[in-house]
Structure 1
Amino acid sequence: MEEAKKILQKTHGGLDVFKHYLGEDCTAQFFRNPYRKDKRASCRLYKNESGGDSYYYFLQDFGDSQFCGNCFVIVAKLLGYNLNTDFKRLLEQIDRDMKLNVFSSYDDGFHGKQVKLKKVIACGSKEKQCSISEFKPITKHFSDKELEYWQRYGIDEKTLLRYDVKSIKSCSFVKTDGKKFAIVSSELVPIYGYYFNGGLGIKFYRPKSEYRFMYAGDLPKPYIFGWNKLPTSGERVFITGGEKDVLSLAAHGFYGIAFNSETAKVPEDKLKELSERFKEIIFLYDSDETGIKESKERVEDFKNRYNVSRLQLPLEGSKKEKDISDYFAIGNTTEDFIKLINEQRT
């Protein structure tokens, strides 16, 4: 609509609209979302150049992709407008609230809505788990930038496809209470899906989001990533900390599995089956305090019954350098890893 263009022109590409409804803090490099429970400053405004003198501002919330969009998308969400059916009403309210004088008059029966502060907890957060009754993912081809992200860990597209990892364009959800929401991938916040149960369930991975993991579908008990990709027998198998670690191992020629976390209980029946198929089982957890503690406890639990050991990576244990995918990302090779296995296995 022409009025939308005029509003953008009068508000410096929507920047003043964001400031009006979100407060002056939104001009900081990163700021907290005042409309949801946000402990971190996870929001940022970006200027989108459209060519010539045309530009607009775009809000990216790294903690919750539901709060992403231009000023009209965000204000519609805050005020409860439907962009498809109420767009003109939305523009009228912005015009009236900010006294922009874009409209000479308003439609009969116009009543502006009030912003209601509310705390929204992103699905998958530590505070609360969402109950999903339906979900509909839309996948797409991996972009060059997405493949570049995986390649830093030595993971190629062939490995991703072999392990049923897909690039998610978007996914719509229906909760058990009937409420609907969606997550949408962007170049800044990509979404990947670890599919399980023949596609009946997905574990979403958002590496650049505050809430990195979400689940939809029935999560198997136990959840074991990579189990159905193991051979019937082999020299060794690694039990590692996460899906990306399994993928990185696979891309370098090793077999591995991961439970839902390093602190998850390892079922003895699964360990027994692994011992019958592989000559040795190696716990390869993170090189931080938790990973070292948990791997030592697992070996202590099972060492008298199975051929288990642990391998500690020569990494500093920080967020950027603690697991096997980081080990390969900083330049170590397959040969380096084999040498480490032979030298340091305990």
Structure 2
Amino acid sequence: MITKSAILAATQNGLNVFKHYIPFDFKLGKNFKNPFYDDKNASCNVYYDRHNLCFKIKDFGNPDYSGDCFAFVAQIKGLDVRRDFLQVVQSINLDLNLCLDEKPDNFIPQTNFKKKSKTQSVSTSNFQKIKPVSDHIIKTIAKPYEFTEKAFSQSELAFWKTFCISEKTLNYFRVRSLSEFKSVNKDNETYELQATINEPIFGYIGESYVKLYRPKSRLRFLYGGQIPANYCFGLRQLPNRGDILFITGGEKDVMSLYAKGFHAVCFNSETSHIPPDIIEMLAHRFKHIILLYDSDETGLSASEKHLAVLEKYNIQRLVLPLAGNKTEKDISDYFAKGNGRDDFQRLIIDLLNTKYAQTMTLIKSCEVDFYNPPELTENIVSVNEVPLGTQGNLFCITGGEGTGKSNYASAIAAGTLAEDGFEVDSLGLDVQANRNGKAVLLYDTEQSENQLYKNTTLLLRRAGRKSKPEWLKAYYLTAMSRRERLQSIQDSMDYYHHFFGGIQLVIIDGVADLVRSTNDETESIAVVEELYRLAGIYRTCIICVLHFVPNSFKLRGHLGSELQRKAAAILSIEKDTQNPEFSVVKTLKVREGSPLDVPLMQFSWDKHKGMHVYRGEKPQKEKEKRKEVELTALAKEILADKKRFTYSELLQEIELLMDVKERTAKSYIRFMSENGIVVKDSANTAYYILGKL
């Protein structure tokens, strides 16, 4: 088992780990910009923690990156340092080629990596002395090697430029131009390579290895040291999160894609094993992982095999429109032919079109067609020209026991029965008459057959009707189970929609009885979404009567919360505190405008008429008083825990709690400020605090 202490002992107390993953040279204690996110300020540094005897990183810009080398690696790989610690140390062991899992007791051999400066000469005698010290270790220590770096020549830079790769990109990926390279072959014989104008040598530099790339030589790839089993070029240059990641066939392709603004990695070759742990980590960090191998026979065959092996990670494959020969097979060749980022982006879109063909076909019908505007939505119920119940929407009426909710909903239904010459008292609401004889459906989940018969008779008398029209249907659903109730509503709505040529209005009195518990989030969401779907399908308004006492501007329970989100309007009915014989109708939500600006309506029982009658609007003074009381309660609720809010924070909280638009929320803050409900903090005027009420 690889231990934490073994990792620290093998990496200079963690310093080598930071040097490996941070893609540039840094000085201890000196601030630099964190390369793993869009760091605007140089406020990140690596330092030695004398108390814990290890190197750590401190990032003042993003504390998530602060900590020891293990926490740092976990963060950049999208892991949890505690839960995934074993995976973290294994990643460090593999990425730095420490080979700790191959040594007894985590034995750490002397390094055999030697890198020469530009001015050093090669000493063959010294070079040949780099030999393993025992037969046991000879299997795990890589072949010794030496190389000498030099500056990129103009011809070398011109070669890379063909593939849109600049010198800056080469340095970022730790690619160097080499003047000479020495190593030993399989027979332990020393050999030496010298770079020439016609045969340049480039090195992909790792911690304890180098991979040579000789593009113009017969033997193009050579290795020095020991290539890690999980070799993944470009991994350390990836952002913490991203959209698309390409897996390519070679390092040149990775850099060519990077130059065009795309993220990519490659393994040692197209036929190399792709470690599942790396793919799992990458799948967590990127939305799409796309195989982009060569268009030749080898690349196509290898990508097909990888697709099958990695099927559970939802890997995709993009085949380039290239001939597949030596000069036209990979993404570097694609760009070298003159194709740009936009050309490649179109290939990606074509791939996504294939992937999302079914989804896009389904969603196409939901797209707004500005050349063929939809039919205008009719207002079924309104007040003072403010829409409350419209086609395709839900309209909620709520309140406590005995406040008159059912009678109020019945008065709305009576409004649809209005005939010429008869004025229906719909308790202050404007209701569109059902001139075309569409279905009007009443479903009651609480009352008995006798009670519903009495209510329907009263409804007809309110509308001035001597007999019930055929298109008015009233059902008591108390004898049915909750599941049967919803199914009956669904089926009967569909039937009457076809039978009467449409549905004018639906009232569900006791919508809470369609679910087993109003606090069951899953069931509540499902029922409300289904009702909203039905309203849209049949282009009708569904009135949901909810027997709840609202908590301020919010409806209680998951059912109430979901109705709050979906309903176009919500009316709350409560007894008047000054005159309990009167019921007061308050608006909690309207789709457009402020609910506090809608008048307070009143109704009460008239013994002479034997029904509830409209008693007019409460005076303007009462409306202003209600506005002050409600906004005072709102301010206390918002400022209960957090005592200070900026203007933007306060605006956001009001929009969220009251479900109003920004313009309305701003008017509320202005009202609260003018009436001393909230005031500027004397210590810091950028904040609002609760006023002295």
2:186 maps to 1:179: no
The size of the alignment, in residue pairs, is 213
* Alpha-carbon distance between aligned partners in 2 of 1:177 and 1:266, rounded to the nearest angstrom: 30
* Alpha-carbon distance between aligned partners in 1 of 2:331 and 2:302, rounded to the nearest angstrom: 16
Q: Give unmatched runs, 5+ long, in structure 1.
A: 1-130
Deviation, structure 1 residue 194: 0.5
* Alpha-carbon distance between aligned partners in 2 of 1:280 and 1:132, rounded to the nearest angstrom: 36
- Correspondence for 2:344 among 327, 337, 344: 337
* Alpha-carbon distance between aligned partners in 2 of 1:313 and 1:321, rounded to the nearest angstrom: 10
* Alpha-carbon distance between aligned partners in 1 of 2:305 and 2:184, rounded to the nearest angstrom: 40
Deviation, structure 1 residue 201: 0.9
Paired residues for 1:261-276 under 5 Å: 261-276=269-284
Question: Relative to 1, partners in 2 of residues 1:274 and 1:180: Cα closer, same or farther, differing over 3 Å?
Answer: same
Contact 1:205 1:212 in 2 (8 A): yes
2:140 maps to 1:140: no
Residue equivalent to 1:243 = 251
- Correspondence for 2:203 among 193, 204, 221: 193
* Alpha-carbon distance between aligned partners in 2 of 1:343 and 1:174, rounded to the nearest angstrom: 48
Residue equivalent to 1:252 = 260
Paired residues for 1:1-346 under 5 Å: 133-174=143-184, 179-197=189-207, 200-303=208-311, 305-345=312-352
* Greater relative contact order (Cα < 8 A, sep 6+): 1
The amino acid of 1:250's aligned partner reads Y
* Alpha-carbon distance between aligned partners in 2 of 1:241 and 1:135, rounded to the nearest angstrom: 26
* Alpha-carbon distance between aligned partners in 1 of 2:186 and 2:291, rounded to the nearest angstrom: 38
* Alpha-carbon distance between aligned partners in 2 of 1:293 and 1:133, rounded to the nearest angstrom: 32
Give me the identity figure in percent: 46
Deviation, structure 1 residue 292: 1.5
Secondary structure at 1:158 match in 2:
helix
* Alpha-carbon distance between aligned partners in 2 of 1:237 and 1:180, rounded to the nearest angstrom: 40
Secondary structure at 1:133 match in 2:
coil
Q: Give unmatched runs, 5+ long, in structure 2.
A: 1-140, 355-693
Deviation, structure 1 residue 177: 6.2
Relative to the length of structure 2, the TM-score reads: 0.30
Question: Relative to 1, partners in 2 of residues 1:158 and 1:243: Cα closer, same or farther, differing over 3 Å?
Answer: same
* Alpha-carbon distance between aligned partners in 2 of 1:180 and 1:292, rounded to the nearest angstrom: 37
Secondary structure at 2:313 match in 1:
coil
- CA-based RMSD of the aligned residues comes to 1.7
Deviation, structure 1 residue 260: 1.0
Q: Deviations over 1:248-276 (max 9, x none)?
A: 01111111111111111111111110110
The amino acid of 1:322's aligned partner reads K
* Alpha-carbon distance between aligned partners in 1 of 2:349 and 2:291, rounded to the nearest angstrom: 15
* Alpha-carbon distance between aligned partners in 2 of 1:164 and 1:270, rounded to the nearest angstrom: 21
Which has the larger Rg? 2
Secondary structure at 2:278 match in 1:
helix
Deviation, structure 1 residue 302: 2.3
* Alpha-carbon distance between aligned partners in 2 of 1:291 and 1:152, rounded to the nearest angstrom: 22
* Alpha-carbon distance between aligned partners in 2 of 1:186 and 1:222, rounded to the nearest angstrom: 32
Contact 1:279 1:307 in 2 (8 A): no
Write out the 4+ residue segments of structure 1 that deviate beyond 6 Å after TM superposition. Answer: none
Deviation, structure 1 residue 329: 0.3
The amino acid of 1:246's aligned partner reads V
Deviation, structure 1 residue 158: 0.5
Contact 1:141 1:167 in 2 (8 A): yes
Contact 1:201 1:219 in 2 (8 A): yes
Q: Deviations over 1:4-45 (max 9, x none)?
A: xxxxxxxxxxxxxxxxxxxxxxxxxxxxxxxxxxxxxxxxxx
Deviation, structure 1 residue 307: 2.8
* Alpha-carbon distance between aligned partners in 2 of 1:163 and 1:321, rounded to the nearest angstrom: 24
